[in-house]
Structure 1
Amino acid sequence: MNSRLSPRRKPGRNRLTLFLSVTFGFTWACWLPLLANRQFEAHIPVLPGQFYLGSFGPLAGAAAAELLPGGKGSSAWIKTAFSFSFPRKWLLIAAGLPLVYGCIAILAHRLFTGSFPDMHRFGLTSDLPAGFNVWETSLVWMLTFGIGEESGWRGFLLPELHRRRSLFASALIVAAVWMLWHLPAFWFNESYLGMGFGVIGWGISLTYGSVVLAWICAGSRWSIIPVILWHGIFDTLTAGDQAGQVMAMVCSMLVIVHGILLMKRLGRAPKLH
C-alpha cells in the first residue's frame, strides 16, 4: 500500500522542496547584503529598492515549482492564480476589510495620542523615495509584496497543502513559513528593528492574517487578485512611518479577532482534489 502511495506523493514533495528552496534562496540573497551592510558595515553594493526586489522570492518559487512533474505549468498556473473568474463581492471584501481596520485605527490614534495622524504623511514610508503619495505607495506595496508574496503563499503553497490538510491547518503552516521567510529583515529593516517584544504580537497577527487571507483566497476560487488587494492596503496602513505608534497595533488586533472568528469555518472547508 505504501509503495502505491509514495509515487503520487513524491511529485508534491518535490514541488514543495523546490518552492521553499527558490523562495528563501531568492529573497535571502537580496536581503542578506542589506543585513551585512547594516550590522557589520560590509559596504556590499546593493540595487535601489533591493528590499522590495526580495519580495518576489515566493513568486519565483511558485513559478519554478509549477514546472515540475505534477505541476500545472506556468501558463495554466498564471491563469488560475490571476483569474478574474470569481464573485466580485470578494474584491469588496478584500478592499473593505483593511479600510475598516484603518478607520478604526485612525480613531484609536486620536483617542490614545490626542490627535489624528498627519494626513499629508499618512501611509508613507521612508523605505520609498520622498515624493511618493499614499496612492503611489499603495501601488508599490501591491506590485511588490502583494504580487510577490501572494503568488507563492496563497497562489501555490496554500492550495498545495490544502490537498492533504484542512484549510485552517494549511493556513497555519503557511504562516509559519511566512514568518521564517521574514527573518533577515529583523536585522536591517527599520520597521522590524524597533519591534522588541512586539514581535510576539506581530507573529500572532501574521498567523491570523494567514487565516483571513486563506478565507478570501478560497472564496475567490483560488485567484490571488483579491488577496493582493488586501495585502497592499494593509501594508499601506501598517508599514507607514506613522503606523508604529498605534495604528499597526490596532489593525493587527482586528485581524486577530477576525481570524479567530474564521477558525471553525476554515476547519470545515473540504480539501482540494
Structure 2
Amino acid sequence: MTTPSPVRRRSGLALFWAVTFTTTLACWLTAIAIGGEPTSFPTAIPYLLGGFGPVFGAIAVRIRRAHRREPVPDHTVRLRQGGRLLLALPLLVLAVATVAGAALLAAALGGPAVDLTGGRDLVATAGGPVPFLISMLIAGPIAEEPGWRGTAYPRLRATMNRLQTGLVLGAAWAVWHLPLFFITGTVQNELGLFSWSGLLFTLSVFPMALLTGYAYESAGVIASIAVHFGVNTTMALLTVKSPATQAAVLMIQIVVAALLLASQRGRPATGRPAHGNHPDRKLGGVR
C-alpha cells in the first residue's frame, strides 16, 4: 500500500468542519428561534443536540474513512497504547488546580472571594452530586472531545506542530461557541458577548485547546475529556464569572500550557508509529 500524503491524511478535516458547524449551527439557531431556557422543553432538544456537533462530525469522518479503507492518521492516540490512561487522573487534578488556584489568587489580589454558594445551588438544581457530575461530563467533554481532539487534532498534526494545532483548534472552538451567547440561560449569554467577561471566555478557549491537546497526546481522548471536565466543573462550582477571576484563570492556564508544551519539545507524538509503519487500522478510539 502506498503511503498517503499529509494532504490526503487531512482530507477528512473538510468533512469534519462541515458536519460539525452545520449541525451545531442548525440546532442552536433553532433553539434561539424557539426561545426559552436551554433546560426547558422544547428548547432543550436542539440545544443538547447542537452540543454534539463535534461528535457528529467525528462519526461522519469515521464512516468515510472506513468506506475508503484509509489508514488511521499517524498522530492518532489509541486507547490500547500502554498504561497511559493512568495519566488521565493527574491531568484531571491539574485542570482543577488551574481554576481553583486562579480563584484563590484573584481573591488574594482583591478580587471576589471564593464562594461555593452558587455551586451548591447548581448541584441542588441538578438533583444532587451524581446527576450534576454526569451532566457536566456529557455536556461538553463527551459531546465535544471525540471530535475536536479525537478527530480534528491528529489530522491537523499531520502538517502542524503542537502549538499551531492548538491555536487553530482554539480558533475553531471559539467560533463554534458564539451562538451560545444568544441562547437565553446559557453561561455565555449571562456573560454577554460584548463584555470583558465574554471576551475573557473567548480567549480562555485557546489555552484550553492547548491543555486538552497535551492531554490527548499524553493519553488519548479519555485524558482530554478529563481535562475538559475538570475545568468546566470547577468553573461551575466556584461560579467563575467575574473578569478578575476569569483573567487569573486565563493567565494561569497560559503559563501551564506553555510549560507543558515546552516539556514536549523534541518528543515525537504518542500516536506516531515508528519507522513509518501505520498504527493498527482496526483498534482504537474515534479516528
Q: CA deviation at 1:130?
A: 2.1
TM-score, length-scaled by structure 1: 0.77
Q: Deviations over 1:110-155 (max 9, x none)?
A: 5446754134x32765xx9924334432321212311111000110
Aligned to 1:155: 150
- What are the within-5 Å matches in structure 2 for residues 1-273 of structure 1? 8=5, 11-38=8-35, 46-48=42-44, 50-68=46-64, 69=68, 71=70, 83=80, 85-108=82-105, 110-111=107-108, 112=110, 115-119=113-117, 121-122=118-119, 125=122, 130-189=125-184, 190-193=186-189, 194-195=191-192, 196-220=195-219, 223-239=220-236, 242-245=239-242, 247-265=245-263, 268-270=266-268, 272=272
Rate the CA distance shift 1:124–1:27 in 2: closer, same or farther, 3 A.
Answer: farther
Distance 1:162 1:10 in 2: 11
Distance 2:23 2:151 in 1: 16
Q: CA deviation at 1:24?
A: 0.9
Rate the CA distance shift 1:10–1:210 in 2: closer, same or farther, 3 A.
Answer: closer
Aligned to 1:76: none
Distance 1:248 1:150 in 2: 23
Distance 1:139 1:84 in 2: 27
Distance 1:155 1:207 in 2: 17
Distance 1:216 1:244 in 2: 25
SS class of match (1:53): helix
Rate the CA distance shift 1:218–1:201 in 2: closer, same or farther, 3 A.
Answer: same
Distance 2:47 2:196 in 1: 23
Q: CA deviation at 1:242?
A: 2.5
TM-score, length-scaled by structure 2: 0.74
Percent identity between the two aligned chains:
22
Mean CA deviation greater in 7-16 or 135-144: 7-16
Root mean square deviation of aligned Cα: 3.4
Q: CA deviation at 1:227?
A: 1.4
Q: Deviations over 1:49-106 (max 9, x none)?
A: 5433322111110111122225468xxxxx9655584425412222111221243245
Rate the CA distance shift 1:160–1:14 in 2: closer, same or farther, 3 A.
Answer: closer
Q: CA deviation at 1:198?
A: 3.1
Rate the CA distance shift 1:67–1:88 in 2: closer, same or farther, 3 A.
Answer: closer
**Kept in 1: contact 2:111–2:245 (CA 8 A):** no
Aligned to 2:281: none
**Kept in 2: contact 1:191–1:239 (CA 8 A):** no
Rate the CA distance shift 1:83–1:62 in 2: closer, same or farther, 3 A.
Answer: farther
Mean CA deviation greater in 29-38 or 140-149: 29-38
Amino acid at match of 2:196: F
Structure 2, unmatched stretches of 5+, are 274-287
Rate the CA distance shift 1:95–1:9 in 2: closer, same or farther, 3 A.
Answer: closer
Distance 2:121 2:71 in 1: 38
Rate the CA distance shift 1:205–1:70 in 2: closer, same or farther, 3 A.
Answer: farther
**Kept in 1: contact 2:141–2:225 (CA 8 A):** yes
**Kept in 1: contact 2:116–2:238 (CA 8 A):** no
Amino acid at match of 2:28: W
**Kept in 1: contact 2:167–2:206 (CA 8 A):** yes
Q: More relative contact order in 1 or in 2 (CA 8 Å, sep 6+)?
A: 2
